[in-house]
Amino acid sequence: MNREKIQKLEHQLQDSQAGKRVDLLNEIAWELGFNDMSRATEYAQQAFALAQELVYETGIAQSTLSLAYSDYFHARYEQALAKVQSAMEVFRKNNDQSGIANCLNGYGFAYWGIGEYEKALNYMLESLKLFNEDGQKERKAWSLTSIGAVYENIKDYENAIKFHQASLEIFREIDHKLGEGRALSGIGTVHQRQGNDGKALEYHTRCLQIFQELDNALSESRALNDIGEIYQKQGKLDEALENHTQALQLRQELGIKPAEITSLLNLGRLFNQKRDPEQAIRYLQNALQLAERYGAKPKIFQALEILSVSHELMGNYQKALEDYKASQAVRAEVFNEDSNTKIKNMQISFEVEKAEQEAEIHRLKNIELAEALSNLKQAQAQLIQSEKMAALGSLIAGVVHEVNSPIAVINSGADITDRALQKAQSELSAARLQDGRQDNGHLLRALNILADNTRATRDAGQRIADIISNLKNFVRLDEAELQFADLHEGIDSTLALLASKFSEKIEIIKNYGTLPKIQCYPHELNQVFMTLLRNAAEAIEEKGTIYITTTANENYLHIRIRDTGRGIPSEQINQIFELGFGYKDARVRMRIGLPMCYTVIRKHRGQILVASAVGEGTTFSITLPIAA
């Protein structure tokens, strides 16, 4: 608690009005926090009332969150969770990251109080992430301290020390003395739980000095109590008495009754150890009266149990037995109440989670509908594309199977015919020379024509074989899906299949660098090349050029496809990768080509960018990682 800051805020409050006054009230309440919860609650209530009067939504949310922490402080966990949820709805609607982080932390505290430690840690760690992203060092440090305390509760001492130490470093960096003291106290408590009394005493003594310098009575009383417990365990009863007495005095002055009862119980135990049961009974009876007044049954049980020891030391065995029996009866009640509380807390947790889900569904209804529509379009496009590729694959597989055999027969027949023609031509030429006959000239001419036709047939067969090969390369029928592939082969196969679209009006200029093979889905990348190259060709209305450039560095390879076509208007460039509908050939068609390109490249952990200018052309740049 920064007293100077609070005094400054309270001074500003005197001349403030309306919304500014709400903000100041909330800031003071937040600054007071757990150090003076009574005043913090008072300021938060004022802020809440004024914010409601002004219909100031953010002010209502902030004051509601402060009141949630007050509920947590007083163990009203159900009310705390409800208030956090109410505040969270506003902060999420306004995308207030700081408010969201504080609410997540509030959820963490409430679940911590309920005993749902896993949920508490999940919420606190999520809030820590947001505090870290926003650069809020102080909030981050306090979050680290809370997380350390939760880990201590579940006896994960390694993580407890880790988080307390991290908070200590930040508090020292920002010169936040109170935070530094709390972090030291947390580390000391962990060592105390582990039985490392020497280290525990060292840390508690250091934090005590800080709290005394800050004149922070609440924290000072805690440190004195912890030090007293260590001395008491070590048998240094005079030192323990001094610390417990000082802690009790501070707690009585502060009026914090639960802490006062704890100190009275510790002193009762201490005087029993000192074999002074009469003095012990005086402290224990005071503790019992306070515990009964406030209905603190766990404290009642402890007081009665320690009183039975005191009476036993005095030789009053009947009274000792009565107190012991009474303590066990209260203990049974506490056990039953604890069981009922756990069941109730489970119900609270369930109801809060259910309410959170319902609120989130309501808040995101329109967004989810839009996302659902987008996802539906995407799924439909992917389905269409998958079905197209599957149909194409089946078609090409059938074509390959059906065409390979006839092509082999054609090529074989052409080869045999060519050899037969060569032999016939040779024999006719020899006979003509031997006999000097001129009447077989027409036969030679006919054979020459047949030879030309045979060569044409063989060339046509080879072209068909090349087309089949390019189709196979395009859909990669004979290879596994995820594999190492040479992207130059895919680009070249695509160019071969699109050759008829390019005709004479389009010049293709390839500037290939050295590309390593990468692990990918080749048929999907080939579909990307097909879409981009076909679009480039269609964008060139008269003569033009398509440039294909590839390069690679240590980690990435780059493919750039640039055309000199008509270009894309600036108002359309931002929606180019979005699914939609358009007109073509007097028909309405779904635009799935470029969206699918985007999806495929993202699937490969890559990036696709577009740059275009009307009348100058368009460039698509693809970046793909080399490592799988």
pLDDT at 436: 57
Query: Does residue 577 register a pLDDT over 80?
Result: no
Q: What average pLDDT does the segment 306-316 reach?
A: 91
Confidence of residue 268 (pLDDT cuts 50, 70, 90): very high
Confidence of residue 437 (pLDDT cuts 50, 70, 90): low
Query: Does residue 432 register a pLDDT over 70?
Result: no
CA distance 356 to 86: 9
Burial call 184-220: b when 16+ CB within 10 Å, e when fewer:
bbbbbbbbbeeeeeeebbebbebbbebbeebebbbbb
- Kindly list the distances between the CA atom of residue 56 and the CA atoms of 44, 91, 234, in Å, as whole numbers in the listed order: 14, 13, 56
CA distance 103 to 86: 10
CA distance 485 to 473: 11
Q: What average pLDDT does the segment 493-509 reach?
A: 83
Q: Which of 96-110, 181-195, 356-370 has the highest mean pLDDT?
A: 181-195
Confidence of residue 18 (pLDDT cuts 50, 70, 90): confident
Tokens found for residue 546: 């398509």
Q: What average pLDDT does the segment 374-400 reach?
A: 58
Q: What average pLDDT does the segment 386-410 reach?
A: 64
pLDDT at 589: 40
Q: What average pLDDT does the segment 7-13 reach?
A: 80
Confidence of residue 595 (pLDDT cuts 50, 70, 90): confident
Confidence of residue 372 (pLDDT cuts 50, 70, 90): low
Q: What average pLDDT does the segment 124-140 reach?
A: 88
Closest CA to 31 of 59, 12, 7, 57: 7
Q: DSSP character for 364?
A: T
Is the CATH code 3.30.565.10 the one for domain 483-625?
yes
Query: Does residue 596 register a pLDDT over 90?
Result: no
The residue with greater pLDDT, 504 or 566, is: 566
pLDDT at 397: 64
The residue with greater pLDDT, 547 or 112, is: 547
What 68-74 contacts at long range (C-beta under 8 Å, 24+ apart), as own/partner pairs, is 68/106, 68/110, 69/33, 69/34, 69/37, 69/40, 69/106, 69/109, 70/37, 70/40, 70/41, 70/44, 72/106, 72/109, 72/110, 72/113, 73/34, 73/37, 74/37
Helix spans in 94-236 (H): 97-114, 117-134, 137-153, 157-173, 177-194, 197-214, 217-234
CA 243 to chain centre: 47
The residue with greater pLDDT, 248 or 396, is: 248
pLDDT at 377: 58
Q: What is the domain class of 1-97 according to CATH? A: mainly alpha
The residue with greater pLDDT, 488 or 135, is: 488
Tokens found for residue 577: 């990768």
Strands 506-512 and 544-552 turn out to be: parallel
Tokens found for residue 395: 């078609």
Query: Does residue 444 register a pLDDT over 60?
Result: yes
Q: What average pLDDT does the segment 423-446 reach?
A: 67
Q: Where in the chain is the domain with CATH 3.30.565.10?
A: 483-625
- Poorest-pLDDT segment among 72-86, 299-313, 364-378, 526-540: 364-378
Torsion of CA 8, 14, 17, 19, to 10 degrees: 30
Confidence of residue 434 (pLDDT cuts 50, 70, 90): low
pLDDT at 389: 53
Whether residue 469 contacts residue 457, with contact meaning beta carbons closer than 8 Å, is answered with no
Residue range 283-294, pLDDT digits in tens: 999 999 988 887
Place of tokens 């972090």: 183
Tokens found for residue 36: 């003076």
Q: Which CATH architecture has domain 256-338?
A: Alpha Horseshoe (1.25)
Query: Does residue 167 register a pLDDT over 60?
Result: yes
pLDDT at 180: 93
Residue range 42-68, pLDDT digits in tens: 888 888 888 888 888 989 999 998 888
Q: What is the domain class of 136-254 according to CATH? A: mainly alpha
Whether residue 598 contacts residue 610, with contact meaning beta carbons closer than 8 Å, is answered with no
- Poorest-pLDDT segment among 117-121, 212-216, 351-355: 351-355
Q: What average pLDDT does the segment 463-490 reach?
A: 69
CA distance 482 to 547: 28
Whether residue 190 contacts residue 152, with contact meaning beta carbons closer than 8 Å, is answered with yes
Rg of the chain's alpha carbons, rounded to an integer?
42
CA distance 210 to 182: 9
Burial call 227-244: b when 16+ CB within 10 Å, e when fewer:
bbbbbbeeeebebbbebb
Q: What average pLDDT does the segment 109-129 reach?
A: 85
Confidence of residue 478 (pLDDT cuts 50, 70, 90): very low
Handedness of CA 46, 52, 56, 62 (dihedral sign): positive
Angle, helix 237-254 to helix 217-234, in steps of 10 degrees: 160
The whole model's pTM is what? 0.53
pLDDT at 395: 64
Confidence of residue 356 (pLDDT cuts 50, 70, 90): low
CA distance 20 to 25: 9
pLDDT at 172: 94
Q: DSSP character for 555?
A: S
CA distance 284 to 302: 9
Backbone φ and ψ of 437, nearest 5°: -85, 145
Q: What average pLDDT does the segment 594-600 reach?
A: 81
Tokens found for residue 94: 């306004």
CA distance 302 to 305: 5
Give the number of other Cβ atoms within 10 Å of residue 591's Cβ: 17
pLDDT at 238: 94
Give the rounded percent of residues in the chain with a pLDDT score beyond 70.
80
pLDDT at 113: 78
Q: What is the number of alpha carbons within 13 Å of residue 60 lying toward its C-beta?
A: 13
Burial call 376-414: b when 16+ CB within 10 Å, e when fewer:
ebbeebeeebeeeeeebbeebeeebeebeeebeebbeeb
- Kindly list the distances between the CA atom of residue 46 and the CA atoms of 67, 89, 415, 604, in Å, as whole numbers in the listed order: 11, 21, 101, 56
Q: Where in the chain is the domain with CATH 1.25.40.10?
A: 136-254, 256-338
